[in-house]
Amino acid sequence: MKTLIVALLVLAPAESQTISEQYTETAQKLIAAALGDTEGLARLQYLCDRIGNRLSGSASLERAIVWSAAQMRQAGLSNVQTPPVRVPHWVREKESAIMIEPLEKPLNMIGLGMSVGTPAVGITGEVLPVENPGLLAALGREKVAGKIVLFTAANDATTYRTPGYRQAVTVGPSRAGALGAIAVLVRSGYALQNPRTTGLDASTDNMVVKPYADGVPKIPAAAVSVEDALMMQRLVESGTPVRVHLTMQAHQGPDADSHNVMGEIVGRERPQEVVVLGGHLDSWDVGQGANDDGSGIMAALQAVLVIKKLGLQPRRTIRVCFWVNEENGFAGGRAYRTMIGDAIRDQIAAIEMDNGAEKPVGFGFGAADQDKRTPQAFARAVEIGKLLEGIGGGEITTRGGGGDIRYLVHDGVPGFAVKTVETLYSNWHHTSDDTFDKIVPREFQLNVASLAVLSYVLADMPKRLNDLK
């Protein structure tokens, strides 16, 4: 009887084992290795301090690409390549704003990505504070025409994603321009006089981002610091007209050649099946792009290297990918989708880390109702998450995806997004404060650990996640 049970256990197909039974020991090894690893941090430091920020079209982005590919090769990844991507080439150049009435005061501003510039002499206009673009129509052309619209929606409490702010940087400039406004200023997030940039995004047609809506005048758009926005709002509310002189040399050059960067651990059984993980190599042209998204790509690379260094070779291929142009166009993610073509059916999962390197709490998975759409797959993901409970990084929730993997997710690939405690990230996001000193080594290592465990298990478990419904 006893021998029969043993025999049955040995003969039992792997699938009858739980994730926990199969992978707890390996996960422990991966976590321990990730938490003892400092290579990833050293690379991130190099990327931040020696290469710096890396806007699409810039020389520093191309330096980052060459360096990243060299790093992957030196670390022994297979099939390292840098497939070409055409990216927009928006250039900020010089920009400034000064309040000229009721008194002269330079404003702390930063042009919003993809904005048009002003004429060379700048533009001058009276400031019209409006909470959000939804209120423009009620004011009408008569009150808006010729004005500089100041969108005042607060977004500094905990996140940069409040609806008022999102509307201001997406449809705001187009709607104001349609009513004859001459420029738009948007109140930034976190205070302390550090304005935050972000990309204009009036509409996304066929998954192509348009900074301005078709058929409306394109007007310059810039963020101003919380302090300066509040000051102008106070002045106007107390009956004192405010006039601002704005000069922006921003312009759009012809598209430039750039490249995604990819490297692999080739799968031992089903190399054509791929789990892809990564983030974006480009950043805004301020700060160092440390949290957004230097930390994401360096953690993804290190996760793969931790797997490799332990001598593990999963059944399927794990591909680390650094996409370009996430910040102002998503050209890298689109080019990747085009490149893989029909191989999309063999993309087992896509994992993106692009929310900063604070302490990870788990992963978002799939659509908002993924737990109902594919309950079995969701349950499996939850099981994988349990492997990360020891480091508190394994909570699986709905809503995965990310800017770079949106085209994969759109075509049915299960998407995962790293979720963190996200306490301070929005303070630095898209500002000159997004620098390496904000990276807490231990928290970065925890991100490496959770990416290593999730990608390894997804690549190695006998059943493909997308076969589970």
CB-based contact 343:350 (threshold 8 Å):
no
Among 234, 372, 373, 410, binds other proteins (CB under 8 A): 234
Residue with smaller CB distance to other proteins, 17 or 45 = 45
Among 49, 269, 389, 411, binds other proteins (CB under 8 A): 49
Half-sphere exposure of 343 (CA within 13 A, CB side): 12
Q: Does an H or E element contain 151, and which? A: strand 148-151
Query: What's 166-227 look like in SS3?
Result: HHHHHCHHHHHHHCCCCEEEEECCCCCCCCCCCECCCEEECCEEECCCCCCCCCCEEEECHH
Which residue out of 62, 95, 264, 326 is catalytically annotated? Answer: 326
Q: Should residue 193 be labelled a site residue for other proteins when binding is judged by CB under 8 A?
A: yes
Residue 217 within binding range of other proteins, rule CB under 8 A: no
Could you say whether residue 45 binds other proteins (CB under 8 A)? yes
Residue with tokens 């949290």: 291
Nearer to other proteins, 189 or 400 (CB): 189
d(CA 324, CA 147): 36
* Residues contacting other proteins: total by CB under 8 A: 29
Task: Give alpha helix (H) positions in 36-118.
Answer: 39-46, 59-74
Of 70, 191, 208, 421, the residue at the interface with other proteins (CB under 8 A) is 191
Which residues in the 422-451 window bind other proteins by CB under 8 A?
432-433, 435-437
Pair type for strands 183-187 and 148-151: parallel
Restricting to residues 81-120, name those near other proteins by CB under 8 A.
102-103, 105, 108
Q: Is 39 in the site for other proteins (CB under 8 A)?
A: no
Q: Which helix (H) or strand (E) holds 237?
A: helix 226-237
CA distance 279 to 374: 25
264 catalytic? Reply is: no
Per CB under 8 A, the segment of 42-50, 81-89, 210-218, 370-378 that binds other proteins is 42-50
The answer to the question of residue 192 lying near other proteins (CB under 8 A) is yes
Q: Which of 22, 58, 60, 355: binder of other proteins (CB under 8 A)?
A: 60
CB of 90 to other proteins, least distance (A): 18
Contact between 262 and other proteins by CB under 8 A: the answer reads no
Nearest alpha-carbon partner for 428 in 349, 376, 355: 355
DSSP 62: H
Query: Active-site residue numbers?
Result: 326
Q: Please give the residue ranges that form the binding site for other proteins (CB under 8 A).
A: 45, 48-52, 60, 102-103, 105, 108, 191-193, 226-227, 230-231, 234-235, 238, 240, 287-288, 432-433, 435-437
